[in-house]
Amino acid sequence: MLLFTPGPTPTPEAIRVAMSVPTIHHRTPEFEEIFKAVREKLIRIMNMPEVLMLASSGTGAMEAAVTNLCKSHALTINAGKFGERFGKICKSFGIVYTELKYSWDTPAAVSDIVDVIKTNPSIDVLCIQICESAGGLRHNVEEIAKAVKDINKDIMIIADGITAVGVEKIDTAHIDVLITGSQKAFMLPPGLAMIGLSESAVLRIENSSKGFYFNLASELKNQRKNTTAYTAATTLIIGLKAMLEVIDNIGFDKFYDDAKNRAKAANTALEAIGLKIYPKTPSYAMSTVYNEHSKEIRAIAKKKYDVNIAGGQDELKDKLFRINNMGLIAPYEMAWVLNAVELSLDELGIRDYDGTANRVFVSKIFKGMQ
């Protein structure tokens, strides 16, 4: 079965092998050396001056960012499930927040955010997804972050990059907190979250941190010494070291270029067989299709063609299907996924199979056709 869901993604064999070592104790020079190497590589790939690793899924890092950085009032952007989650986190901690809501196919407008910031001077953090995975939507976080900083540089920009880090090169010039998780572009099992921090975010955390398990000041103090406040997710960190070495050997630029070319070719192939790409600004992390028969297409692709693709969420559960494009993906695997979709359309009597999706994808990837 090909696992093609936008998280979790399949763990490559070399990484599984790297993790198949006896558990080592986290308070040892051996582990500290591994931790140090991962920290250094993460700082490079996240393009942030400081990073933290937390033993939790991505949501734990979202919670930690909000509780440690927000001192008065949060602005959250809800264009899907994950943006909605920032609001839910604020609510559960009694943090005052204003939510800007968009349809799941529509990116946040810079002008809307600027208006809210100008009318609410108490706002001190902006929480936004880089890619909102609910609809495969790319927000223009770089431009939004710059516009916010132009108004008030003390507003912390919390960017959920869980489906963006490791997919594309992110301009972090105006981002203060960059969040990611192990089970998306890094292709590891779930359970490790990573947070990149700007110098200003580090200062705010050191001056007034909150919480116990997710107290980022105590993590900063420990992780700068290559250890963690509590037991580290040692096996996942060993896996991350191996994965970051794989990406480093490929080269960041090539890794990102491959993802971009594959995403564009897959979307063109899907359109060529009459399917509609859902988001107005698609991210490279996944191909998201709106179709009334999404549920049936997924069921046939899984049962007959051994391809597991994701559906949508909430009201769009059976109306969307999402094909992962994060991590190391061989073109022949993506080609088979697209064939499976086209074959499913044939079986449903929607469109006769003629190999168009495969031809378009392969020609774009290997023959440089537009």
By C-alpha distance, which of 213, 226, 162 is closest to 54? 213
β-pairing, 125-129 with 74-78? parallel
Residue 327 sits in the site that holds ligand PLP (CB under 6 A): no
Q: Which of 50, 84, 160, 168 binds ligand PLP (CB under 6 A)?
A: 160
Residue 137 sits in the site that holds ligand PLP (CB under 6 A): no
Task: Point out which span in 21-29, 52-60, 303-311, 333-341 binds ligand PLP (CB under 6 A).
Answer: 52-60
Q: Which residue, 140 or 356, is less far from ligand PLP as judged by CB?
A: 140
Residue 337 sits in the site that holds ligand PLP (CB under 6 A): no
Q: Quote the least distance from Cβ 368 to ligand PLP, whole Å.
A: 31
Residue 10 sits in the site that holds ligand PLP (CB under 6 A): no
Site size with ligand PLP, rule: CB under 6 A: 11
Q: Which of 107, 181, 196, 282 binds ligand PLP (CB under 6 A)?
A: 181
By C-alpha distance, which of 161, 126, 162 is closest to 144? 126
- Is residue 136 helix, strand or coil? coil
Residue 7 sits in the site that holds ligand PLP (CB under 6 A): yes
Structure tokens at 161: 């990059």
Q: Which of 68, 76, 133, 267 binds ligand PLP (CB under 6 A)?
A: 133
Count of positions (residues) in the chain: 370
Q: Quote the least distance from Cβ 129 to ligand PLP, whole Å.
A: 5
Q: Which of 58, 239, 282, 312 binds ligand PLP (CB under 6 A)?
A: 58
Q: Quote the least distance from Cβ 216 to ligand PLP, whole Å.
A: 17
Q: Which residue is nearest to ligand PLP (CB)?
A: 58
Q: Which of 46, 125, 162, 247 binds ligand PLP (CB under 6 A)?
A: 162
Question: What are residue 165's DSSP bridge partners?
Answer: 168
Tell me the angle at which helices 252-272 and 234-250 cross, rounded to the nearest 10 degrees: 80
Amino acid letter for position 211:
G
- Is residue 185 helix, strand or coil? coil
Q: Are 177 and 204 in contact (CB under 8 A)?
A: no
Residue 294 sits in the site that holds ligand PLP (CB under 6 A): no
Q: Which of 76, 78, 129, 198 binds ligand PLP (CB under 6 A)?
A: 129
Q: Which residue, 162 or 337, is less far from ligand PLP as judged by CB?
A: 162
| Alpha carbon distances (Å) from 200 to 50, 69, 176, 203 | 11, 10, 7, 5
Residue 187 sits in the site that holds ligand PLP (CB under 6 A): no
Residue 312 sits in the site that holds ligand PLP (CB under 6 A): no
Q: Are 162 and 186 in contact (CB under 8 A)?
A: no
Q: How far apart are CA 326 and CA 183, in angstroms?
A: 10
| Alpha carbon distances (Å) from 12 to 189, 228, 254, 302 | 10, 27, 18, 20
Tell me the CA end-to-end span of the chain in Å, nearest whole number.
31
Where does this chain bind ligand PLP (CB under 6 A)? 7, 57-59, 82, 129, 133, 160, 162-163, 181
